[in-house]
Structure 1
Amino acid sequence: MATCLVSNEPTLNPMVGIATVTDEAPIEVPHDVAEIVVVRHGETTWNALGRIQGQLESELNEIGWKQAEAIAERLSKELKPAAIYSSDLMRAKNTAEMIAKRCHIDEVIVVTELKERHVGSLQGYVWGEIKEKEPEACNAFFSTQNDVEIPGGGESFDQLCERSVAALEEIASRHKGERVIVVTHGGVLRAVYMSLTQEPTAGKIMNGSLNVLHLSEKKWQFKTWSDVSHLNEVGFLQRGFNGDSLQL
């Protein structure tokens, strides 16, 4: 796994989940750097209800579509991406397709390894009921032992980290000197952040947030984390995704 050097340029506050960035969007990407803009998909019906999606499908709701439009509008004014990648789940693909249209990219490249964590028998439940209805799976999800798989066919946190980071590394290897956009999920973003930084939390990860990562010489830099400044007029769920507690 690649090592990580956390950039000092943004002010990262993982407990709040919002990064303040002073630099303007780059005019170009250095030849030895792959710049990956990792986007969490727009809000869904199940996000609004507090229902666990995992790898089940849930459609973007009205706010989610507006978030996708706002993301696309922002990114269309920045450095044009060389490619756009997405999870194969529709909430991510729909968000990615909106961005692709505005950025004049002909296709969205689907990467199944970017999909959300499979959380086993927790999928489909509201967060507030899992302690009672699925105690074993709930305990596995919140276990501090990262190799514990969630009952019902779910992944361990280590498995999620391995496939998520590997997917980004593979994408980065194709795009040195270029900017690319990747649309994925809260669980994947959390896994990537915690795996690369070794921090105990990634804080809140908002629907529609932008996260800018650089990979150069096998070292990762976090340039922006959970930036939602483009959603000021649209709004977003303040609770975000926070896999460290039941308050999601």
Structure 2
Amino acid sequence: MDSASSPEDLPRFAEIVVIRHGETAWNASRILQGHLDPELNEIGRKQAIVVAGRLSKEPKFAAIYSSDLKRAAETANIIADICGLPEVVLDSSLRERHLGDLQGLTLRDSAKLKPEAYKKFLSSKRDEIPGGGESLDQLNERCVSCMQKIAMKHIGERVIIVTHGGVLRELHGHAVSAQSKDGKIHNTSVNVFLVSECGDWTVKTWGDISHLQEVGVLTNAFGGDKNSG
């Protein structure tokens, strides 16, 4: 007798499309942003419009959530307008890692001006950064918990989250139970996670920037790599 599961027995899940915010002038100048709040630059706004156009052609989304920092919130509002979503739900738990004494400095300058913080930032030990900065474990705890809560509210639905490169790396690491892939998470890249009602995470799509062929992406911009910020 065929023992295949019926549709009712299959796990149900939320499909969460996680987008990194569009480019900022600070990305282009390779400045560590952290919780500081620069706006999108003109290229970043074009990237947001293009990714929004892509998402508007996909099956309907139930909601959109975003970090409350301007670069993410502006990206999210552009997506919401083009996708016909009524409002963006802002959540500070989706912010980038707080980088303490390094915020507002280039990585090169931080090595000279804040050597202790610089060393902690580059350490593989996931330490807190002097000056009120977070450890990677603290970042992981807040962003993973936030996405899990969002997923449980939207089982059986598709939702969008707009956030930051460092957050995306921690979400990926949680899903695959390993360090995130090498390489850069580009501005407005599309990353898709499936989160089941029993709490299992799967990465369906990672780092897709096929929509940026015409607008382009700054490959040497700061952020989105393993030293994100």
**Residue 7 (structure 2) aligns with:** none
> Is the partner of 2:80 in helix, strand or coil?
helix
Matches of residues 83-232 of structure 1 in structure 2 within 5 Å?
83-146=63-126, 148-202=127-181, 203-216=183-196, 217-232=198-213
State the AA in 2 paired with 1:112: S
Q: Does 30-39 or 163-172 show the bigger shift? A: 30-39
State the AA in 1 paired with 2:209: V
State the AA in 2 paired with 1:98: I
Specify which structure has the higher proportion of helix. Answer: 2
Deviation at 1:199, TM superposition (A): 2.8
Deviation at 1:201, TM superposition (A): 3.6
Deviation at 1:243, TM superposition (A): 4.2
Matches of residues 19-98 of structure 1 in structure 2 within 5 Å?
32-98=12-78
Distance 1:180 1:31, change over 3 A: farther
**Residue 244 (structure 1) aligns with:** 226
8 Å contact from structure 1 (residues 37, 179) kept in 2: yes
Q: What is the root-mean-square deviation in Å for CA atoms of aligned residues?
A: 1.7
> Is the partner of 1:215 in helix, strand or coil?
strand
After TM superposition, where is structure 1 displaced by more than 6 Å over at least 4 residues in a row?
A: none
State the AA in 2 paired with 1:205: I
Deviation at 1:194, TM superposition (A): 2.1
State the AA in 1 paired with 2:53: E
Distance 1:219 1:89, change over 3 A: same
Distance 1:237 1:195 in 2: 27
8 Å contact from structure 2 (residues 176, 202) kept in 1: no
Distance 1:91 1:228 in 2: 18
Bigger CA radius of gyration: 2
Distance 1:242 1:112 in 2: 19
Distance 2:71 2:160 in 1: 15
8 Å contact from structure 1 (residues 121, 154) kept in 2: yes
Deviation at 1:245, TM superposition (A): 5.1
Distance 1:132 1:198 in 2: 35
Distance 1:173 1:228 in 2: 28
Distance 2:195 2:151 in 1: 7
Deviation at 1:92, TM superposition (A): 0.4
Deviation at 1:31, TM superposition (A): 7.6
Distance 1:211 1:201 in 2: 13
Distance 1:104 1:244, change over 3 A: closer
Is there any run of 5+ residues in structure 1 with no aligned partner, and where? 1-29
8 Å contact from structure 2 (residues 186, 224) kept in 1: no
- For residues 154-199 of structure 1, give each alpha carbon's deviation from its aligned partner in whole angstroms, at most 9, with x where no partner exists: 0000000111110100000000000000000011111111233233
> Is the partner of 1:39 in helix, strand or coil?
strand
Distance 1:42 1:245, change over 3 A: closer
- For residues 187-218 of structure 1, give each alpha carbon's deviation from its aligned partner in whole angstroms, at most 9, with x where no partner exists: 11111112332333433110010100001121
Is there any run of 5+ residues in structure 2 with no aligned partner, and where? 1-9
How many residue pairs were aligned? 217
